[in-house]
Amino acid sequence: MAVVHENPELFESRKADHIRLSLEDRMQATGASGLDQIELVHEAFPELDFADVTLESSLFSKTIRSPMFVSSMTAGHAGSVNLNLVLATVSEKRNWAMGVGSQRRQLTDPAADAEWTKIRKACSRVRFFGNIGLAQLIRSKVEEIRRLADTLEAEAMFVHANPLQECMQPEGTPQFAGGLKALERLVKELGLPVIVKETGCGFSEPTLRRLNGIGVAAVDVSGLGGTHWGRIEGGRSKAGDPLQRAAETFRDWGVSTVESLLTAKRLETDYDVWASGGVRTGLDAAKLLAMGASMVGLAKPLIEAALEGEEALDARMALLEYELKTAMFCTGSKDLKELQEKIVWRQARK
């Protein structure tokens, strides 16, 4: 089945709505991530100097400066080009990897390639992760997805699952039959690491088990606790519309970030486990890394800063790194390996 062409004006309007609504507090599943129930254990005698703490990590056998990355946000419309250029420019400067927004539009509009061609030319060293929705993957040939990755010179490809969002979106595509088979085909034929991610509703144990053994490089649990895309799509509907009422019913739908992560680690999967969903500070990132996440993604704090410009985004990323290093120092962890091996986290006292 071919990918359906979408009205350009409708696409532009939807993406503008997404950016606007994603910044509103009512669209956040605040407190649902489980991060406020996790605390790191303080070490009064760290036996190291703050300057010795390093955030260096490994990403697909390459050394990277930070385990935090720019989580996928937006792409393919007029308002995204400058925003993504700001994100890419600062990501390159601070050596953060960057997941791009959905490349769906590039499947039917080759002119949309120009956004990433321009950004890649300006930011030749940034580590990009491509991104396509599972619903679009099912209806696409592997060579089409490879072309999307090539426009970015991507190091990996995200495949995002968003069934709730597609159900609540007026122009949604909730056709997911054959998704696992399409994913297995992509893993075998793409020639790049494939990362599976949710979009804020997390992963249950049965789903995590089904993803085991098919060759995906990583799963980003992207759990409940941050921007809730069911709420956002409901916010795009008119008052009284059935989709708006349905979105209200499902406003807290999902598996929390913490529960998704701990379940994945308990299963001892053959893929790396990444975490995002409600990460707002470097301390949040430290908690998830201590619990076993290999990488931690952030979106809302970064898009807020990026809308102010490169200087504001650079300052926000620097603060996040400082907060993460402080958490490591105050648990006596000189590197991420120690942060995970020393078991420095516990359930918070009630």
12 located within any domain: yes
217 located within any domain: yes
Distances (CA, A) of 57 to 38, 97, 220, 343: 23, 12, 17, 18
Categorize the per-residue pLDDT at 190 as very low, low, confident or very high, splitting at 50, 70 and 90.
Answer: very high
What pLDDT does 6 receive? Answer: 56
Q: Is the pLDDT of residue 122 over 50?
A: yes
Residue 99 CA to residue 123 CA, distance in Å, equals 14
What pLDDT does 14 receive? Answer: 62
Domain residue limits at 196: 8-347
What pLDDT does 76 receive? Answer: 47
195 located within any domain: yes
What pLDDT does 11 receive? Answer: 53
Nearest partner of 254 among 238, 236, 231, 280, judged by Cα: 231
Segment 280-288 shows an average pLDDT of 98
Please state the domain count of the chain: 1
Categorize the per-residue pLDDT at 139 as very low, low, confident or very high, splitting at 50, 70 and 90.
Answer: very high
What pLDDT does 15 receive? Answer: 63
Segment 228-255 shows an average pLDDT of 90
What pLDDT does 278 receive? Answer: 95
Characterise 320 by phi-psi region: left (phi > 0), alpha (psi -120 to 50), beta (else). Answer: alpha
122 located within any domain: yes
Residue 237 DSSP one-character state: S
340 located within any domain: yes
Categorize the per-residue pLDDT at 240 as very low, low, confident or very high, splitting at 50, 70 and 90.
Answer: confident
pLDDT (tens digit per residue) in 293-322: 999 999 999 999 999 999 999 999 999 999
Residue 189 CA to residue 186 CA, distance in Å, equals 5
Categorize the per-residue pLDDT at 77 as very low, low, confident or very high, splitting at 50, 70 and 90.
Answer: very low
Contact between residue 241 and residue 37 where contact means Cβ atoms under 8 Å apart: no
What is the share, in percent, of the chain residues with pLDDT greater than 70? Answer: 92
2 located within any domain: no
What pLDDT does 317 receive? Answer: 98
Instruction: Decide: residue 267, CB within 10 A, 0-12 exposed, 13-18 middle, 19+ buried.
Output: middle
159 located within any domain: yes
pLDDT (tens digit per residue) in 1-23: 455 555 555 555 666 676 777 77
CATH code of the domain in which 217 resides: 3.20.20.70
pTM of the model: 0.92
What pLDDT does 82 receive? Answer: 85
Segment 184-209 shows an average pLDDT of 98
Q: Is the pLDDT of residue 24 over 90?
A: no
301 located within any domain: yes
